[in-house]
Structure 1
């Protein structure tokens, strides 16, 4: 089975909060426990980072299903992820600080584009197009949705010729 292509849009600016929090934990550990405290601080940072990964659980479940090519099963996870982060926009807007997520795309944008991708992979071009267009309405600069729609349009135009 071929691997499903995955795109990660990491942001250098989004990585800065990760490094800052790590430095804060290491410094706090050092000031409390001297040299060994740096290790405690780094360990605490990684425990925190691992714990924060549970917040976008539907997103992560959807990605796992995409990796195993279970596209139809992944769609509801991405739609729930979108709804969750839509209702908590502040969490998505400040994800670099609150979730230590360095992604340049918001969870809402990723959820919408991933749902559209899953529809396309499941053979439902109409819903794929609908969700990519909705993604562009909400995120006009989304290169994921722009590129995917261009490919969908190219496929439609070439079959008409």
Structure 2
């Protein structure tokens, strides 16, 4: 079943280079080990590592997205808050996510968590908290277009 909750995915194309390099290194290793099809084994190994990292490390974030897609916005907020706390405490994981998580996302997890919290608050009718979180997002990430757009939309409604 498709969700009607909007999802935005932005890719940082420069971060794809280290990921392709990593896959090529894996293929080279399998080639040196005389595997019959090193490209296949390299790709499978890369995908296994990549999927495992993205499954286990940003667990709260992933659970928050699942709850959001199920329209359980109130339950999703604590998941995104936990994700924000985790990636604030482990900033290096988020900062180097193109290596640590093999993720080519343009937005880091802290930024996504704040935007998602703001979105969830807007969906449960708490515009005041939503505005607060969009402002917090813009304080930490001034170039965030999602937060800027969300904030403009909410303040325009509030000013009517």
- Give TM class, smaller chain: over 0.9
Partner secondary structure for residue 102 of structure 1: coil
TM score, norm. by length of structure 2: 0.93
* CA–CA distance in structure 2, aligned partners of residues 23 and 151 of structure 1: 45
Instruction: Tell me how far 1:42 sits from its aligned partner.
Output: 1.4
Q: 5+ residue gaps in structure 1? A: none
Instruction: Tell me how far 1:19 sits from its aligned partner.
Output: 1.6
Q: 5+ residue gaps in structure 2? A: none
Q: Which residue of 1 aligns with 2:4?
A: 3
Structure 1 stretches of 4+ with a deviation exceeding 4 A read none
Q: Determine if contact 2:68/2:76 at 8 Å carries over to the other structure.
A: yes
> What whole-Å deviation, never above 9, does each CA across 1:78-111 have from its counterpart, x for those lacking one?
0000000000011110001110111111100000
Paired residues, number: 158
1:89-100 matches, cutoff 5 A: 89-100=91-102
**Once superposed, what is the RMSD of the aligned Cα atoms?**
1.4
* CA–CA distance in structure 2, aligned partners of residues 48 and 33 of structure 1: 21
TM score, norm. by length of structure 1: 0.93
